[in-house]
Amino acid sequence: EAGVTQFPSHSVIEKGQTVTLRCDPISGHDNLYWYRRVMGKEIKFLLHFVKESKQDESGMPNNRFLAERTGGTYSTLKVQPAELEDSGVYFCASSWQTSGQETQYFGPGTRLLVL
Amino acid sequence: AQKVTQAQTEISVVEKEDVTLDCVYETRDTTYYLFWYKQPPSGELVFLIRRNSFDEQNEISGRYSWNFQKSTSSFNFTITASQVVDSAVYFCALSEAYSGAGSYQLTFGKGTKLSVIP
């Protein structure tokens, strides 16, 4: 069974540009999470989809970030316009059930560098 | 609010030594779940273990063991006879059992970078 995949693995862009990150969850997983790790800090929650609906987007830093999950399959996270502080590693995770005990399986992350 | 503290930023051990990674957590919930993930140099987060707050039994899986103590709010991870392949960043994480927002997001510690020297 394929794991969570993310694309691209790396992205280097200039301040003010737009970047779109993609996450493909494990097949059959209704729950999809986005997290971010800024250099030297904790991995922090951004938002959670249940199928195509946003269950919780309390971790989204500002309105420059837009996440979608059309059709309840893959998800995209767009940053527009990107700022220097957006640099970090963006992780996607998926789980089957919406439950605290459900294990979230993570992808390899997208390393974003904004210059 | 939930919080996870991994006080050890980096640890270096010589191969075959035992090493313990500390994790201390804070939560007001009585029911919660604790996790450990491993991040090897390739970058992905690999799930290692999940424990619920009602199960304080220690767990052993090969060279890995976990010590969960509610009295000290700790969930420590020990690697016995460490190997070079154990070199990675290890994250401890916490999730609540009942979420008003229905999110069950993970709260992570900052991670401990383990280097096993041959």
Q: Rounded mean pLDDT of chain B?
A: 92
Max CA separation in chain A (angstroms): 40
Per DSSP, B102 falls in state S
pLDDT at A40: 80
How far apart CA B104 and CA A35 sit, in angstroms, is 13
Of A3, A56, A102, which has the smallest distance from its Cβ to B101's Cβ? A56
The one-letter amino acid code at B13 reads V
Contact A100 B99 (CB under 8 A): yes
To the nearest whole percent, how much of chain A has pLDDT over 90? 83
| Percent of chain A clearing pLDDT 70 (strictly above) | 97
Residues in chain B within 8 Å Cβ distance of A26: none
HSE (side-chain half, CA atoms, 13 Å) at A6: 27
- pLDDT for the residue A100: 63
* pLDDT single digits (tens) A26-85: 999 999 999 999 988 899 999 999 999 998 999 999 999 999 998 889 999 999 999 999
List residues of B whose CB lies inside 8 A of any A CB.
4, 31-33, 35, 37, 42-47, 50, 52, 91, 93, 95-99, 101-111
pLDDT at B72 over 90: yes
Contacts for A76 with CB less than 8 Å, ≥ 6 apart: A20, A21, A22, A23, A67, A68, A69
CA atoms of B78 and B90, how far apart (whole Å): 11
Residue of chain B whose alpha carbon sits nearest to that of A55: B103
